[in-house]
Amino acid sequence: MAPSLDARIDALYQQPFSEFTAARNALAKTLGRDDAARVKKLAKPSVVAWAVNQVYWRARKSFDRAMAAGERLRKTQIAALGGKSAKESDQRGARAAHQQAVAAAVGEAARLAAAAGVHPDAEQLAVAIDALSLAANPPKPPGRLVEPLKPAGFEALSGIRVADVVPNVEPRTTNLERHAERRTPNAERRTTSRTPNAEPRTPNVLDHKRALALAGAEARARDAAGALERAEADFARAKAALDRAKNKVAEAEQELERLRAK
């Protein structure tokens, strides 16, 4: 019995990285018009996505372990954000197990890629497998990833909306606020110890200026932290785009060399 088209497409994603396009075109030539059109639309995976696919096809235990660890960690985080009781030790255990499983899968991806003569960036592999393992709805069917998933935020925590969680979260205390809290009780003790029955001291202009300066410094610190996070995210996206461009150049050069050799 001839293999189904889905099975033949699965086999296509198991081909060596440099042979995907040729294998896809060869497969399309053996099919009817509709099926051929479907196959021709299949995009070649990036080198990172291809390496992640190979873990699924050739190191399934490692792949499944990373996906299961990611699912456990995601559920633990959802429970914690939803206000359900969760031991801190359970959360630490889920994080540690996930980190170990992702590291093992990254090692397999790098090994399989090196054996095929390609060398994807290890950090990008880690980000890709981490994001895939934590995805609420990973792409189906597995093993056909074309581009790495983007690292997900709160929106990936299925069933939890940020608006539902924020009201129950205690406000984060900044270092400046903690410093002010440590200083304030001492200042109050100094003003009351001398004359226990004295009326509370009215803040003077200098105190008011200090409070304004403190508030301004905290606001600037928050703005600077936000700008840094946005800059880091922009840098990561630019670096990923640069790496993809390098891979495309390398592929084009390889294709040019094959054409010249004919």
Please report the pLDDT score of residue 228 as a whole number: 79
**Those residues with Cβ within 8 angstroms of residue 8's Cβ, 6 or more apart along the chain or in another chain:** 27
Look up residue 32 and give its two tokens: 């009817």
CA angle 65–247–116, rounded 5-degree value: 55
Cα atoms in the 13 Å half-sphere on the side-chain side of 183: 8
> Do residues 78 and 157 make contact, with C-beta atoms less than 8 angstroms apart?
yes
Look up residue 150 and give its two tokens: 């983007």
Average pLDDT, the chain: 78
Phi/psi of residue 84, each to 5°?
A: -75, 150
> Do residues 109 and 54 make contact, with C-beta atoms less than 8 angstroms apart?
yes
Whole-angstrom distance, CA of residue 22 vs CA of residue 36: 14
Whole-angstrom distance, CA of residue 164 vs CA of residue 159: 10
Whole-angstrom distance, CA of residue 229 vs CA of residue 226: 5
pTM over 0.75, yes/no: no
Whole-angstrom distance, CA of residue 241 vs CA of residue 40: 24
Scored b (16 or more CB within 10 A) or e, 41-70 reads ebebbbbbbbbbbbbbebbeebbebbbebb
> Do residues 66 and 101 make contact, with C-beta atoms less than 8 angstroms apart?
yes
pLDDT in tens, 152-194: 664 444 444 434 334 444 444 444 444 444 544 444 444 444 4
**Those residues with Cβ within 8 angstroms of residue 207's Cβ, 6 or more apart along the chain or in another chain:** none
pLDDT in tens, 71-130: 999 988 888 776 655 566 778 899 999 999 999 999 999 999 999 999 999 999 999 999
Q: Nearest-CA neighbor of 70 among 130, 124, 125, 128?
A: 130
pLDDT in tens, 27-85: 999 999 999 999 999 999 999 999 999 999 999 999 999 999 999 999 888 887 766 55
